[in-house]
């Protein structure tokens, strides 16, 4: 059985063959059939972003990419002891490559930011989110980002429900559930670190962007306020759509409402 380090080396080689030398995913997988099941989704993620960004690497870009790639791997490797994010070293390899591609194709990233699941750039949007989650250094920062990503998922559910696409509503609901579970786990980790309890609910204006680093109690308060705002508004918005939605998507919407209510309840309890 290959160790994690050996797998990372194999993945590094395949990414370079895929993104720099222009080989296919199938060619890489043929070289490492025993690791094919693990390699394939990582290579597909990198390839989606490369195609969407339409990057033609120059010699200087390749050299810079290799340097940034190795530096990021060294930084992430130092965090291997964190149990909840034990999967990061392997994923960090591919998302670092993705990040380099995204930085080189900033126009594509900007266009992808508001894309919906029926848009060709939507995979770029999801890949960018994954990059941001991995590279956000603090648990509090990750929790705030999870809350904002949950807000995106609800907007996408509403959009696809109005289009009558029950399958997409189900898929996005799964992504929403994943973000809310992650939010609750991060909130519990913050509590375990001994940060003071948050007693006040939050203003709506704090439901938005991240403005940097605050003192820990104040920052946790802002997080709880944002989560409380979303907990009140997201289920209500989904119910409003349910009243007008086609019959074909109502069951999927009911599932989304249940996930939203349960997930936010769990997150708020973790923040109390």
pLDDT in tens, 68-123: 544 544 554 444 444 433 444 444 555 555 555 555 455 556 666 788 999 888 88
Domain boundaries, position 31: 1-135
Instruction: Please tell me the least confidently modeled range out of 45-49, 102-106, 200-204, 266-270.
Output: 200-204
- In a shared domain, residues 105 and 148: no
Q: What is the dihedral of CA 97, 103, 107, 113, to 10 degrees?
A: 70
- In a shared domain, residues 143 and 131: no
Give percent above pLDDT 90 in the chain: 37
Sign of the C-alpha dihedral computed for residues 237, 240, 246 and 252 taken in this order: positive
**What SS3 class is residue 214?**
coil
Q: Helices (DSSP H) in the chain: which residue ranges?
A: 4-19, 25-31, 36-53, 59-77, 88-104, 106-112, 122-135, 139-162, 166-192, 216-244, 247-271
Q: Name, in order, each residue with C-beta under 8 angstroms of 262's C-beta and a sequence gap of 6 or more.
A: 180
- In a shared domain, residues 44 and 111: yes
- In a shared domain, residues 17 and 112: yes
The secondary structure of 19-55 as a DSSP string is: HTS---HHHHHHH-GGGHHHHHHHHHHHHHHHHHHT-
- In a shared domain, residues 254 and 205: yes
CA distance 34 to 262: 40
pLDDT for 174 beyond 60: yes
Q: Record the tokens describing residue 21, joined without a space.
A: 């030398």
Segment 203-224, tens digit of pLDDT: 333 334 443 333 445 688 889 9
> Which of 135, 151, 175 is where one domain is finished?
135
- In a shared domain, residues 158 and 220: yes
Total domains in the fold of the chain: 2
- In a shared domain, residues 26 and 6: yes
225 burial class (0-12, 13-18, 19+ CB within 10 angstroms)? buried
Rounded to 5°, angle at Cα 156 from 152 and 93: 60
Instruction: Over range 1-23, report the average pLDDT.
Output: 70
Total number of residues shown for the chain: 272
Segment 225-242, tens digit of pLDDT: 999 999 999 999 999 999
């Amino acid at each position: 059985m290959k160790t994690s380090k050996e797998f990372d080396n194999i993945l590094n080689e395949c990414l370079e063959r895929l993104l720099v030398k222009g080989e296919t995913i199938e060619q890489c997988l043929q070289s490492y059939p025993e690791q094919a099941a693990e390699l394939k989704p990582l290579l597909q993620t990198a390839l989606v972003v490369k195609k969407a960004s339409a990057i033609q690497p120059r010699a200087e870009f390749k050299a810079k990419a290799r340097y940034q790639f190795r530096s990021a791997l060294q930084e992430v490797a130092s965090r291997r002891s964190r149990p909840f994010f034990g999967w990061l070293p392997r994923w960090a390899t591919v998302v670092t490559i993705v990040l380099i591609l995204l930085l080189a194709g900033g126009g594509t990233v900007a266009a992808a930011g508001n894309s919906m699941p029926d848009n060709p750039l939507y995979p770029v949007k999801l890949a960018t989110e994954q990059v941001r989650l991995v590279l956000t250094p603090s648990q509090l920062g990750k929790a705030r980002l999870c809350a904002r990503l949950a807000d995106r998922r609800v907007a996408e559910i509403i959009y696809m429900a109005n289009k009558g696409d029950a399958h997409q509503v189900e898929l996005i609901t799964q992504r929403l559930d994943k973000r809310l579970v992650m939010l609750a786990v991060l909130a519990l980790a913050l509590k375990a670190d001994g940060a003071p309890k948050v007693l006040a609910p939050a203003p709506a204006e704090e439901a938005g962007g991240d403005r940097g680093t605050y003192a820990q109690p104040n920052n946790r308060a802002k997080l709880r306020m944002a989560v409380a705002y979303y907990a009140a508004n997201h289920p209500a918005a989904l119910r409003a759509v349910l009243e007008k939605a086609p019959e074909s998507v109502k069951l999927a919407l009911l599932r989304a409402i249940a996930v939203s209510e349960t997930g936010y309840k769990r997150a708020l309890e973790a923040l109390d």
